[in-house]
Structure 1
């Protein structure tokens, strides 16, 4: 039985991944931003346990973890959580840059740093669910794309640094996926949302599990997933 820590498990891709792992008998720890959210998430994901820490405040993660027991073993750290706020560079205030960089990049970097000792022991995997925006930036997407380009750099550097410790690192770049975040993006874009046009969270979750379940002598480094149509 393996133990996985999943961020972003409150909805969308992260929730499907956590549920699939639980259904097959693995142990799942979800990251929740506060105690109230932890209760909600463990109630909706029976069998999961929660670790409280807010990715929007990376500098406080170490303090938060010092106040609660950490898992003794982690076989994979699956980064799914993310936030998006669109806007042209000429109009996007620093607060929205800071929030997206914190949750999408600095938070994952700090969470990974804090958990590397146990990941090294298990020779585990770190999976970053990135975005098509981590490969190409379009008008109105500067802050989000910058955070995701940075996440790609983080993954590449981590992969090189941790190879000697046996920690394997994968970046997955889904196209537009039918999640609550995608619905929010459409609201910001002023467009009608049609979930049927996009990849399902279940399809992206299958991709994540494929990377997760490879034999220990193999690793997917970068994987792009796009809607079939």
Structure 2
């Protein structure tokens, strides 16, 4: 009897994360969905029957270890999919330490801590750690400094982890989507003072397709960096 793959997913409540969770749920894989609090966990369980949840606030990574110590972690993790993220656009002259910390905590430090806490289970499965990064993780634009810094850091985290865990059979992928139609993108347009038309941007389902391709790839190959851009 084939063993069901187990996926831990952050950001499964909307956008790319929801699209990935729906695909994996539909094919019968086992989901462990991260939730910020008990209320969000209840919503996710209603949407994905049979899934499990892992509750902890990514904005407060110092407390994740304590939060997880009171919950049952899976014995093995075939893929750890870091998809959650936050953005707050301001010029450097207006960014407060609070805004810097919030974006760095959610986008970089929490993924690092979540990876640390689940790495034994990923190693046990010779599994996959995938980070949904951003085009901003490769280049920074005006008003994007804090977000881009968090995503540049996420690229460094992935690159180091890949070298460290290669011998353990762990694969590590960074996906760099361009602008994707999502609640986050709606917020970005609002902060930019622009009209938001989701039809102009990448469908989250298209990014989900690339993520599943990366984690489903046979063991003889590894996708390292994958950029996804809006089509013509």
- Which range, TM-score by smaller chain? over 0.9
How far the C-alpha of 1:159 sits from its partner, in A, is 0.2
1:7 is aligned to: 10
CA distance in 2, matches of 1:3, 1:195: 32
CA distance in 2, matches of 1:140, 1:153: 22
2:84 is aligned to: 81
How far the C-alpha of 1:73 sits from its partner, in A, is 1.6
> Residues 126-154 of structure 1: CA distance to partner in whole angstroms, max 9, x if unpaired?
00000000001000000000000000000
Map 1:96-115 onto structure 2 (within 5 A): 96-115=99-118
Structure 1 residue 130 and structure 2 residue 133: aligned?
A: yes
How far the C-alpha of 1:48 sits from its partner, in A, is 1.6
TM-score calculated relative to the size of structure 1: 0.99
Structure 1 residue 34 and structure 2 residue 37: aligned?
A: yes
2:68 is aligned to: 65
CA distance in 2, matches of 1:143, 1:215: 36
Map 1:1-229 onto structure 2 (within 5 A): 1-229=4-232
CA distance in 2, matches of 1:158, 1:225: 22
4+ residue segments displaced more than 2 Å = none
CA distance in 2, matches of 1:42, 1:10: 11
CA distance in 2, matches of 1:45, 1:138: 37
> Residues 12-36 of structure 1: CA distance to partner in whole angstroms, max 9, x if unpaired?
1001101100100100110001111
How far the C-alpha of 1:57 sits from its partner, in A, is 0.7
> Residues 105-146 of structure 1: CA distance to partner in whole angstroms, max 9, x if unpaired?
000000000000011111000000000000010000000000
How far the C-alpha of 1:46 sits from its partner, in A, is 2.1
CA distance in 2, matches of 1:177, 1:10: 15
Could you tell me which runs of 5 or more consecutive residues in structure 2 were left unpaired when the two chains were aligned: none
CA distance in 2, matches of 1:57, 1:215: 36
Could you tell me which runs of 5 or more consecutive residues in structure 1 were left unpaired when the two chains were aligned: none
How far the C-alpha of 1:47 sits from its partner, in A, is 2.4
Structure 1 vs Structure 2 CA RMSD: 0.6
CA distance in 2, matches of 1:34, 1:91: 30
